[in-house]
Amino acid sequence: MSNSDVSKCPKNTIPEYAFIGRSNVGKSSLINMLTNRKSLAKTSGRPGKTQLINHFIINKNWYLVDLPGYGYAKVSKSAKKTFQKFITQYFSLREQLVSAFVLVDIRHKPQPIDLEFMQWLGENGIPFSIIFTKADKLKPKAIEKHVADYKAIMLEAWEEMPNYFITSSSKDIGKEAVLEYIHSLNKNMRLD
């Protein structure tokens, strides 16, 4: 199901996990990796391809929610404002949301736009994990250094580093860890 109106999102109580990040962070590729589908989410060299809230039902027991990227999308200012409004509404209104996954390109130092977005999630009490993407582009020592640098910056404002995953869509890295985490959250919810 795809739409730009939060009130038209699915009405059932199936848990949702929202994936969001800056344009061109590798979100569509990650979603395709997690779902074992080549083109479930449309990949594009042009940032800003996702412009709707896309719900994908997974194994009939949870929704993977693909949200528009924020940042460099080549769209008009009014379109950007609309995206921001419905992303904010999505996070504010969706009681089914269990956790967000904020995607960050591991090759870059922490970007203000990502840090501000995570700050907003924290201030609004929205649980999230970080997914570092494109790990295949760096050597293991460089990955460790980038994660350590990220931790250092996060810990200036946060009591502890949020939960995080290292992934590479082209090499299938991190897929099981992310899916197991979602599965464990779903299992815990059923115990309540």
Given the candidates 3.40.50.300, 3.50.50.60, 3.40.50.720, 3.30.950.10, the CATH classification of the domain at 2-187 is 3.40.50.300
133-163 pLDDT, tens digit per residue, is 999 999 999 999 999 999 999 999 999 999 9
Q: For 2, phi and psi rounded to 5 degrees?
A: -130, 135
Q: What is the pLDDT of residue 133?
A: 98
Q: What is the pLDDT of residue 189?
A: 79
Q: What is the pLDDT of residue 184?
A: 95
Structure tokens at 32: 């395709």
C-alpha Rg value of the chain to the nearest Å: 16
77-123 pLDDT, tens digit per residue, is 666 666 677 788 899 999 999 999 999 999 999 999 899 999 999 99
pLDDT bin (cut points 50, 70, 90) of residue 43 is low
